[in-house]
Structure 1
């Protein structure tokens, strides 16, 4: 697995720290650590073409987090194909760039006023995905599979196959990340606790794979502890 994790000369960003001695020589190489995520050259080529379509409502950052989640999930879900899942997650929300930005939130809000725009962004995203992948010379059968996932990733209730299930789950799991919760809080003017509750209510029961359901509970547990009075009371103490 390739990584782009870097540290200053000497291999340690922290120096001696509170311990008082340098342990940087004991830090393992990134390639020896499980779970670290980066984009391969093939994935970066899709990202480089997708990112220009992801400027609307934090979709660029959302997509990067969803990619990381998808890359973790695809290794844990039998039958999911990374060559389908990862381009699909990078391209899934490109269609929002063709929806008036001032209507995007009213398409995805609780009790939305423009729910039809969710379908519009899927159709437009499918067209963008096909153009990007054809430009890259990807296998026509893979292109069809990726485009089919993009065209229905939000409105299609059931997953067509394991790859589709992973894309759907990674897209939703972003909501429970710190970035997702902060974004939902900002979008709808909610308190952190209310954002966690509304996101949880729209995530846990809508996931398709067992690994995603486990990940969702772990993310929700961390977010809950961050908001707990016990954790807040300890915030004045030193952090690791």
Structure 2
């Protein structure tokens, strides 16, 4: 006769908080630097369209992670550029944005408009914060072509392009794309994989993309969904 088994608590009975290291002692935690917080405050009103504000924050985190791994890149260029890269969508009528970014690319003129307008807005914001003129022009050049230009101008440009695309494979990116186009989760994942993997410029970004896609695909696996 077997003995009854005792249920096992899922919560440890002791306090482990003393074993948790401080934030500055661990890798991978990202927060906006004071310089970038000032940019964000001025950029946020231009990003309040189609979840571009949330997108830009997640892309900032991805860009910061990539920048730390890629020698020769500069945080003072990459991070302002990624915060400002989509500000130009604020000049495009909201009802036309999805037509511009939908699969098939029906409105490349609007994609181009958001780039040129984004570069203009970036110059205004960075100029008001007394950024060096050479840095302003480099950041504006990255924004002015971050979607339409097929090549990267520099390592900094490559990171901005890669972080922008990688967002699509994050949980927020997949949910957003799913809602935009009325897709189910598997369709959104396949669409985003098709639009991300072959368009990345850096090896760290390619590794991140495969990791994000692997986790997202296993979330949809029958073995995982059966577990509730």
User: Given the two structures, how large is their TM-score scaled by the length of structure 2?
Assistant: 0.95
Instruction: Tell me if the contact between 1:106 and 1:115 (Cα under 8 Å) persists in the aligned partners.
Output: no
Q: 1:213 aligns with which of 177, 181, 206?
A: 206
Matched ranges for 1:84-103 at <5 A: 84-103=77-96
In structure 2, distance between residues paired with 1:226 and 1:110: 24
In structure 1, distance between residues paired with 2:196 and 2:72: 23
Q: 1:152 aligns with which of 145, 163, 170?
A: 145
Q: 1:167 aligns with which of 157, 160, 167?
A: 160
In structure 2, distance between residues paired with 1:28 and 1:65: 24
2:133 matched to which residue of 1? 140
How many pairs align?
A: 220
1:110 matched to which residue of 2? 103
Q: Kindly name which structure, 1 or 2, has the bigger radius of gyration based on alpha carbons.
A: 2
In structure 2, distance between residues paired with 1:29 and 1:143: 35
User: Given the two structures, how large is their TM-score scaled by the length of structure 1?
Assistant: 0.90
- Look up the SS of the partner of 1:105 in the other structure: helix
1:183 matched to which residue of 2? 176
- Look up the SS of the partner of 1:113 in the other structure: coil
1:6 matched to which residue of 2? none
Show CA shifts across 1:12-31 (max 9, x none).
xxxx9711111111111111
Gaps of 5+ in 2: 1-8
1:129 matched to which residue of 2? 122
Gaps of 5+ in 1: 1-15, 236-240
2:30 matched to which residue of 1? 37
Aligned-pair RMSD on alpha carbons?
A: 1.0
2:196 matched to which residue of 1? 203
In structure 2, distance between residues paired with 1:226 and 1:108: 26
